[in-house]
């Protein structure tokens, strides 16, 4: 990440430069939040990470809360966009579903972005904007699973038993619950165990993901 200097705030920044600087500060917030945790994060931590003074940082954002909201938004979009891109690259619905599960679970206890997103979830109730972002995150998670299940069912690749919306809700709930255990360091819930359990649920509702995986290996 390029360093921001206090000289960049002398006078009025040009629109494109200001947008770039704000993006760099949001990235610095995500990095500092991962290093320090959101509860103890300060403007000084972010400014130090970005190579700025506190005063220079406040040229771009009114306060730490406004910066955290934008970091929350950026983290959510990064997570959801990357997953949707990976899902879209798959040809079969079984592969799409496996990919969605793999990309939705943390890579392990040291997955800094996922840990940060869970920390942002705990900020629900402190700000209407954080509440809105948590809801948007859920809606995007739900939409990803709902589209795969619904389209796979319509194409005849899946035979979803029960209500598709409820099945998608359950996948989001499993993803969030297992993910929280993983980033929390619960050794009883590993990434592999969580993935196997979610794939097992898919089999139970009529989505033959493991059968398709075996066919691809052949």
pLDDT at residue 68, rounded to an integer: 82
Is residue 205 within 8 Å of residue 162, measured between CB atoms? yes
Per domain, the residue ranges of the chain are 17-61, 75-205
Q: Exposure of 135 by Cβ count < 10 A (0-12 exposed, 13-18 middle, 19+ buried)?
A: exposed
pLDDT at residue 79, rounded to an integer: 87
Is residue 69 within 8 Å of residue 151, measured between CB atoms? no
Q: Which residues contact 196 (CB under 8 A, 6 or more apart)?
A: none
pLDDT at residue 116, rounded to an integer: 82
Is residue 172 within 8 Å of residue 180, measured between CB atoms? no
Is residue 97 within 8 Å of residue 202, measured between CB atoms? yes
**What is the Rg, in whole angstroms, of the alpha carbon atoms belonging to the chain?**
20
CATH number 1.10.357.10 is the correct assignment for the domain at 75-205: yes
Q: Do domains 17-61 and 75-205 have the same CATH topology?
A: no
Q: Which two tokens stand for residue 23?
A: 């993006």
Main-chain phi, psi angles of 89, to 5 degrees = -75, -10
**Cβ atoms within 10 Å, residue 82:** 12
pLDDT at residue 196, rounded to an integer: 96
pLDDT at residue 186, rounded to an integer: 94
**Cβ atoms within 10 Å, residue 47:** 21
The pTM assigned to this predicted structure is: 0.78
User: Rounded distance, CA 145 to CA 100, Å?
Assistant: 7
DSSP 6: G
Q: Which fold has domain 17-61?
A: Arc Repressor Mutant, subunit A (1.10.10)
Give me the average pLDDT of each 10-residue run along the chain (218 residues).
Answer: 37 64 86 80 89 88 85 85 95 96 92 82 71 89 97 96 97 96 94 96 90 43
User: Rounded distance, CA 158 to CA 201, Å?
Assistant: 13
Q: How far apart are the first and last CA of the chain?
A: 43
């Amino acid at each position: 990440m390029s360093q921001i200097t206090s000289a960049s705030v002398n006078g009025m920044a040009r629109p494109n430069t200001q947008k770039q600087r704000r993006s760099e500060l949001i990235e610095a917030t995500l990095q500092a939040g991962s290093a320090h945790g959101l509860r103890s994060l300060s403007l000084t931590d972010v400014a130090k990470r970005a190579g700025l003074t506190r005063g220079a940082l406040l040229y771009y954002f009114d306060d730490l809360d406004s910066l955290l909201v934008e970091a929350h938004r950026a983290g959510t979009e990064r997570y959801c966009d990357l997953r949707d891109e990976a899902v879209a690259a798959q040809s079969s619905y079984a592969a799409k579903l496996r990919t969605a599960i793999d990309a939705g679970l943390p890579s392990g206890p040291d997955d800094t972005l996922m840990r940060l997103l869970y920390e942002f979830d705990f900020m629900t109730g402190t700000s209407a904007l954080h509440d809105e972002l948590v809801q948007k995150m859920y809606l995007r998670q739900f939409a990803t699973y709902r589209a795969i299940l619904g389209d796979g069912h319509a194409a005849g690749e899946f035979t979803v038993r029960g209500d598709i919306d409820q099945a998608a809700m359950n996948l989001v709930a499993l993803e969030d619950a297992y993910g929280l255990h993983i980033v929390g360091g619960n050794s009883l819930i590993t990434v592999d165990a969580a993935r196997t359990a979610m794939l097992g649920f898919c089999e139970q509702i009529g989505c033959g993901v493991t059968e398709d995986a075996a066919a691809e290996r052949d």
